[in-house]
């Protein structure tokens, strides 16, 4: 009896569920259609952009000098602070001087002796020439005196040359900076013996200005050369740098050299730019000096055109991509969405430059792309203006602050903060 009653209850419950499902399907079928999805659109049109190309480059000092000892001697003094900037002519190392001073004095004595011998030879020649016109004079005596005079004159010149060499070696005991720049660490401390075969004592790197070398495709170099032929060719473009931390360097430079050969394995050519490298702040003598660019540093070289160019552009947010390439959705005269394959040129973070696949004046979908499928009917309207760079940066900072210091109570702001919001970045979520 209990089993029969339980069976009837189960059947009644199943029937009720089935009736409820059928009622929901009927009610849903009787609802009116939601209509075409609303989308934001823009007109593809000509825009002015400054073309930019980015390349990975390396910073290189214009002058780099390895200081090497010219004589063999002990290091007596080191007169610079490692890592500071030195000026041309500054005394950097003092080697021991006494042995070289003694050689100078020795050679000076040899010069004096040779000068005395030459003076005596001159007197002997004068007497022989005077006696030549007397019965006691002989031509052979005159010839011998003249030869002796010339020999003593040559010995004097040799002694003077040796004295000059000794003075030069004495001067080599003072090692001075041949250029201005930042000096590296010393490889020899005081008390060590150095010689021409010891290797570099230290290295000086020039600082301001500085080179940036980077490879570019030959095709890009030819395009730049043709585009700015009347303004100096590739040398007319503006060079900017992005530092390793992503910040844009405040100085701008110019390209001053193009390698005369092309790399066969990459079809690229080395380009060199010259750019200023000022100090962060003024420092006193002997204090380390910091500059933005350092020899050997990797940077991003940004080559900008000297004048804006007219291109067919659309917002970057309108461009989608798949395995076949880039495409956009356009709205035809019947308000139907059409998928259109496009080719992009040199674009900016905000503007996509279309080189093929799109015509000026066509309507391109920017907002609501997640609701669009090829062939469906849409309801076009003006697209939301993109947020400015400042607004995006402010929103990113606000998100970072919120993530670092979350609100203690969900739905309520932390103490000391405003609850007023902004809707200027509503299009950022596309």
Amino acid 11: pLDDT:
61
Most confident of 148-152, 234-238, 269-273: 269-273
**pLDDT > 90: what percent of the chain?**
25
More confident residue, 313 or 101: 101
Whole-number CA gyration radius for the chain? 43
Band (424; pLDDT cuts 50, 70, 90): very low
Q: Would residue 213 be called left, alpha or beta, if left means φ above 0 and alpha means ψ between -120 and 50 degrees?
A: beta
User: In the predicted model, is pLDDT for residue 393 greater than 50?
Assistant: no
pTM for this entry = 0.63
User: In the predicted model, is pLDDT for residue 232 greater than 80?
Assistant: no
Amino acid 13: pLDDT:
60
252-257 mean pLDDT: 88
User: In the predicted model, is pLDDT for residue 235 greater than 90?
Assistant: no
Secondary structure, 3-state, the chain: CHHHHHHHHHHHHHHHHHHHHHHHHHHHHCCCCCCCCEEEEEECEEEEECCEEEEEEEEEECCEEEECCCCCEEEEEECCCCCEEECCCCEEEEECCHHHHHHHHHHHHHHHHHHHHHHHHHHHHHHHHHHCCCCCCCHHHHHHHHHHHHHHHHHHHHHHHHHHHHHHHHHCCEEECCCCEEECCCCCCCCCEECCCCCCCEEEECCCCEEEEEEEEHHHHHHHHHHCHHHCHHHHCEEEEECCCCCECCCCEEEEEEEEEEECCCCEEEEEEEECCCECCCCCCCCECCECCCCCCEEEEEEECCCCEEEEEEEHHHCEEECCEEEEEEECCCCEEEEEECEECCCCCCEEEEEECCCCCCEEEEECHHHCCCCCECEEEECCCCCCHHHHHHHHHHHHHHHHCCCCCCCCCCCCCCCCCCCCCHHHHC
User: In the predicted model, is pLDDT for residue 341 greater than 70?
Assistant: yes
User: In the predicted model, is pLDDT for residue 328 greater than 70?
Assistant: yes
More confident residue, 427 or 132: 132
Q: pLDDT of 170-211, one tens digit each?
A: 999 999 999 999 999 999 999 899 999 989 999 999 998 899
Q: pLDDT of 41-70, one tens digit each?
A: 888 888 877 777 888 999 999 999 999 999
User: In the predicted model, is pLDDT for residue 390 greater than 60?
Assistant: no
User: In the predicted model, is pLDDT for residue 231 greater than 60?
Assistant: yes
306, 228 Cβ separation under 8 angstroms: yes
More confident residue, 307 or 421: 307
- Alpha-carbon gap, residue 236 to 224, rounded angstroms: 9
Amino acid 410: pLDDT:
36
User: In the predicted model, is pLDDT for residue 6 greater than 80?
Assistant: no
Residues facing residue 235 across a β-bridge: none
What burial class does residue 361 get, using C-beta atoms within 10 Å of its C-beta: 0-12 exposed, 13-18 middle, 19+ buried? exposed
Band (411; pLDDT cuts 50, 70, 90): very low
What structural domains and CATH numbers belong to the chain?
Answer: 38-48+310-382 (2.40.420.20), 52-61+206-308 (2.40.30.170), 98-171 (1.10.287)
Amino acid 49: pLDDT:
75
274, 253 Cβ separation under 8 angstroms: yes
340, 328 Cβ separation under 8 angstroms: yes
Name which of 329, 337, 320, 339 is nearest 36 in CA terms: 337
- Say how many C-beta atoms besides its own lie within 10 A of residue 287's C-beta: 11
Laid out side by side, the sheet with 64-67 consists of 64-67, 202-205, 181-183, 85-86
Q: pLDDT of 68-119, one tens digit each?
A: 999 999 999 998 888 888 899 999 999 999 999 999 999 999 989 888 888 8
Amino acid 21: pLDDT:
54
User: In the predicted model, is pLDDT for residue 320 greater than 80?
Assistant: yes
247-262 mean pLDDT: 88
What burial class does residue 281 get, using C-beta atoms within 10 Å of its C-beta: 0-12 exposed, 13-18 middle, 19+ buried? exposed
Average pLDDT, the chain: 79
Band (20; pLDDT cuts 50, 70, 90): low
Q: pLDDT of 365-385, one tens digit each?
A: 888 888 888 888 888 888 887
Q: Tell me the CA end-to-end span of the chain in Å, nearest whole number.
A: 64
Contacting residues for 138 by C-beta, under 8 A, at least 6 apart: 131, 132
Buried/exposed code over 265-280 (b: 16+ C-beta within 10 A; e: otherwise): eeebbbbbbbbebeee
């Amino acid at each position: 009896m209990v089993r029969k009653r339980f069976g009837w209850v189960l059947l009644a419950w199943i029937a009720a569920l089935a009736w409820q499902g059928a009622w929901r399907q009927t009610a849903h079928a009787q609802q009116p259609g939601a209509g075409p999805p609303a989308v934001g659109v823009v007109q593809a049109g000509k825009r002015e952009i400054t073309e930019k190309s980015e390349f990975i480059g390396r910073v290189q000092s214009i002058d780099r000098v390895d200081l090497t000892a010219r004589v063999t001697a002990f290091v007596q003094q080191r007169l610079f602070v490692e890592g500071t900037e030195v000026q041309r002519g500054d005394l950097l190392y003092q080697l021991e001087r006494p042995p070289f001073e003694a050689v100078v004095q020795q050679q000076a004595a040899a010069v004096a002796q040779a000068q005395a011998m030459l003076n005596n030879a001159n007197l002997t020649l004068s007497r022989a020439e005077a006696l030549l016109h007397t019965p006691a004079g002989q031509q052979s005596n005159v010839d011998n005196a003249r030869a002796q005079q010339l020999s003593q004159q040559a010995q004097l010149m040799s002694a003077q040359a040796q004295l000059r060499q000794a003075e030069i070696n004495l001067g080599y005991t003072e090692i001075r900076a041949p250029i201005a720049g930042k000096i590296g660490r010393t490889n020899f401390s005081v008390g060590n013996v150095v010689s021409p075969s010891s290797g570099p004592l230290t290295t000086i790197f020039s600082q301001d200005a500085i080179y940036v070398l980077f490879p570019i495709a030959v095709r890009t170099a030819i395009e730049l050369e043709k585009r700015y032929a009347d303004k100096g060719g590739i040398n007319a473009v503006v060079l900017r740098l992005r530092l390793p931390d992503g910040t844009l360097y405040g100085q701008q430079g110019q390209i001053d050299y193009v390698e005369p050969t092309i790399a066969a394995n990459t079809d690229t050519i080395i380009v060199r730019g010259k750019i200023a490298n000022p100090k962060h702040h003024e420092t006193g003598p002997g204090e380390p000096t910091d500059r933005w660019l350092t020899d050997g540093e990797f940077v991003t070289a940004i080559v900008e055109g000297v004048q804006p160019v007219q291109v067919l552009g659309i917002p970057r947010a309108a461009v989608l991509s798949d395995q076949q390439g880039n495409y956009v959705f356009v709205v035809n005269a019947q308000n139907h969405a059409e998928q259109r394959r496009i080719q992009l040129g040199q674009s900016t973070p905000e503007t996509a430059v279309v080189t093929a696949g799109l015509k000026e004046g066509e309507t391109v979908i920017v907002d609501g792309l997640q609701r669009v499928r090829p062939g469906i009917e849409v309801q076009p309207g003006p697209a939301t203006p993109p947020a400015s760079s400042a607004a995006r940066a402010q929103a990113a900072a606000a998100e970072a602050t919120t993530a670092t210091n979350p609100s203690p109570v969900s739905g309520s702001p932390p103490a000391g903060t405003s609850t007023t919001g902004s809707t200027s970045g509503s299009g950022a979520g596309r």
